[in-house]
A and B are shown apart, each in its own frame.
Chain A
């Protein structure tokens, strides 16, 4: 019976393909894309301010609400944070990934790999709370600065207008640190993968043709690693855009997009506005990817 079935599949590869791809494709189309579409539709309904009921009619009222000054401040703040976190992650991740790919020996490489992955094994809420303690006024970070006699530097940083605050744990800079820490693995791994794919002979060839190491880096390594950087930045950017836990634990608790979505779909019962808030990051990502493609980020793929 099984044998005949196997033979049948062998002779009809199309049926095999349909059997294998059917379920995941169904999941993709119905549940995944379907719910995205539902979300999109939701955002074109609106909340009747008088009755507090969602009106299921097509309108731009919700989007007019979204583009109000108060809401745009939330969006702007989130986007600036997401951009900073992305840039910070690239600056930290790239040298680390480069070292691990080009210079680290086999054992050190495995060790670094573990070091990158290890934090992902523990709960992220625990790690965020740990950071809250570390960044607190009496926390280890300010203690460390004090031991080095650099408390002045920390105070200067905290006295800066937008970045600072009463202590690191309630400042935007502290929030930036925690975001960057939490999402860093998602930046390191794709960059490492893309660097791994560059054959060493390309670097030799560039030097052979007269390029100094910095020129080789700019003209060969960077363009070829760009798909990895873009992939990593999709993670760090979109994860920061959508997160609502970290900004509610760390920072000055002014709302981020994620927190806005959370509160509007919950107690406020304004599902259309929550949906519209979610559509915004998606639209941004689409434009980001189109821009990246136009800049040639995927030419090396």
Chain B
């Protein structure tokens, strides 16, 4: 019945990775608890969460280092759930880089091709291509312990990419680098991903890094996925209190207070930079919510000032105000906190 073009479309529509109710238990600990998600082809997908949230276990199950207790994992439509690592078209950049210390850099990069018995001349050509890709064309004859941390990181990347995998897995690869190098590597990683055009699955606990790099982010907490979305979705419309405070920070408006303001009994979140501080008597603009409170703390940080305000309901709010000329609120002042109605974000219960 189905015509060939339709079939081709179907095949190309297979997501790069799909998790169907995947769980991984270690004894009584549910490291991953019924995780289901899909990663579209060519995406930069990030698994974000605190340590012990299950993100690394998910990565290890995609690679095959860990097998799920239950559930199904597919890569490009093909089931891989119980395949060993060497049976999967997936390669990994490890957190500690895992470069083989007894081999030269070139031998490390070459390893995957040597195992696959690719002819020597082609191997050498591709090793050089990879070293060029990571901007380290001349280090081939060195040993890994003669490289800096940033260089090892790049070699680990080159070694993983040389097999031309469908998916590259990155397990907190930038964690060991200092801030400046990390930011530089973030830019390069993104550029390399666009150049090779394959799906990247990235694990990190750094929400800023996740925001900077990703097309899609899955936020993990205690073995469960709290929310999946683009950086914009997650920041503007967090669905749970955990996401609201793990991706950036939020003020949570409890259902009592929300009921007074909106008539709806539900928990809401508001970003601190979307709230503004006004003097007691200043009239408030239309379409804004308002709470009254006392300034408890003022922290001047140059680019912005952070206020802690205790509302008359007893709620402690954080307000971030851009640097402006007349910023004269002090501790103990009675003020109004206002924010636009659309800045109020409803959380799922």
Query: Do A215 and B115 touch across chains, with their CB atoms under 8 A apart?
Result: yes
Binds B, one of A11-19, A145-153, A167-175, A204-212: A204-212
Q: Determine if B92 and A205 form an interchain contact, defined as CB atoms under 8 angstroms apart.
A: yes
CB neighbors of A among B69-128 (8 A): 84-86, 90-92, 94-96, 98-102, 111-112, 115-116
Q: Please, which residue of chain B has its CB at the minimum distance from the CB of A211?
A: B115
A160 near B: Cβ within 8 Å? no
> Which chain B positions have C-beta within 8 A of A283?
none
Q: Find out whether the CB atom of A201 lies under 8 angstroms from the CB atom of B94.
A: yes
A-B interface contact total, Cβ < 8 Å: 63
Minimum C-beta distance from A81 to chain B (A): 32
Given contacts A199-B98, A223-B102, A224-B102, contact A207 B111 (CB under 8 A): no
- How many angstroms between the C-alpha atoms of A220 and B99 in the bound complex? 11
Cβ distance B127 to chain A, nearest Cβ, rounded Å:
13
The answer to whether the Cβ of B230 comes within 8 Å of any Cβ in the partner chain is no
Contacts of B159 in A (CB 8 A): 205, 209
Interface presence of A202 (CB below 8 A): yes
B96-A199 in contact (CB<8A): yes
Residue among A205, A210, A211, A224 facing the most chain B CB atoms (10 A cut-off): A205
Q: How far is the CA of A207 from the CA of B100 in the complex (A)?
A: 13
Q: Does A21 contact B (CB under 8 A)?
A: no
Contact B65 A220, beta carbon cutoff 8 Å: no
Give the residues in chain B near A211, CB-CB below 8 Å.
Answer: 86, 111, 115
Q: With A and B bound together, what is the CA distance between A296 and B143 in angstroms?
A: 14
Q: Is B63 an interface residue (CB 8 A)?
A: yes
B-contact bits for A196-239, CB 8 A (1 contact / 0 none) = 00010110111111111001000110011000000000000000
Q: Is the CB of A212 within 8 A of B98?
A: no
Set of chain A residues within 8 Å of B91, measured between Cβ atoms: 208-209
Binary CB contact string for chain A from 275 to 301 against chain B (1 if under 8 A, 0 otherwise): 000000000000000000000100110
Contacts of A202 in B (CB 8 A): 98, 100
Q: Are B94 and A205 in contact (CB under 8 A)?
A: yes
Bound form: Cα–Cα A215–B84 in Å = 14
Q: What chain B residues lie within 8 Å of A212 (beta carbons)?
A: 86
Q: Is B64 an interface residue (CB 8 A)?
A: yes
Contact A204 B65 (CB under 8 A): yes
Interface residues of A (CB under 8 A from B): 199, 201-202, 204-212, 215, 219-220, 223-224, 296, 299-300
In order of increasing CB-CB distance, the 3 nearest A-B pairs are A207-B85, A209-B112, A201-B98
Q: Enumerate 14 A-B pairs (CB-CB under 8 Å) in ascending A order.
A: A201-B94, A202-B98, A202-B100, A204-B65, A204-B94, A205-B100, A205-B159, A206-B100, A208-B65, A208-B91, A209-B86, A210-B86, A212-B86, A220-B100
Taking A201-B95, A204-B63 as given, write out 14 further A-B residue pairs in contact, using a Cβ cutoff of 8 Å, ordered by the A residue number: A204-B65, A205-B159, A207-B65, A207-B86, A208-B64, A208-B65, A208-B85, A208-B92, A209-B111, A210-B163, A211-B111, A211-B115, A215-B115, A220-B100
